[in-house]
Amino acid sequence: MTVDEIRVQALELPRDERELLGIALLSSLETTENQAEVDSAWAEEILARSEAYHSGRVQALDASGTFERIRQRLAARNGS
């Protein structure tokens, strides 16, 4: 079976199955050579962010606040 044949068949799948297939394919491209280092760095980042939140150095935003902040930054960048 060729890549083109697989693509044609994959595009016939329902959306949710195409999404799962896409995620699986993209995940297969990630290198795992330094996965332990990546996991360790993320663990440190998570702990630092959690500590900053619990100590009051940063405040959490709900999703709507976060999206509004992003909209404002994009509008400023685009000159709108």
User: 11-22 pLDDT, tens per residue?
Assistant: 999 999 999 999
Range of the domain at 57: 35-78
Q: If pLDDT is split at 50, 70 and 90, which confidence band does 80 have?
A: low
Listed as own residue / partner, the contacts of 58-65 with beta carbons closer than 8 Å and 24 or more positions apart are none
Are residues 43 and 21 both part of a single domain? no
Are residues 16 and 43 both part of a single domain? no
Are residues 19 and 42 both part of a single domain? no
> How many domains does the structure of the chain reveal?
2
Query: How much is the pLDDT for 46?
Result: 94
Condensed to tens digits (0 to 9), the pLDDT of residues 61-79 reads: 899 989 999 999 999 998 8
What are the CA-CA distances from residue 32 to residues 28, 38, 39, 46 (Å)? Answer: 10, 9, 10, 20
Alpha-helical segments (H) within 35-79: 35-54, 63-78
Are residues 39 and 24 both part of a single domain? no
Are residues 11 and 42 both part of a single domain? no
Are residues 46 and 63 both part of a single domain? yes
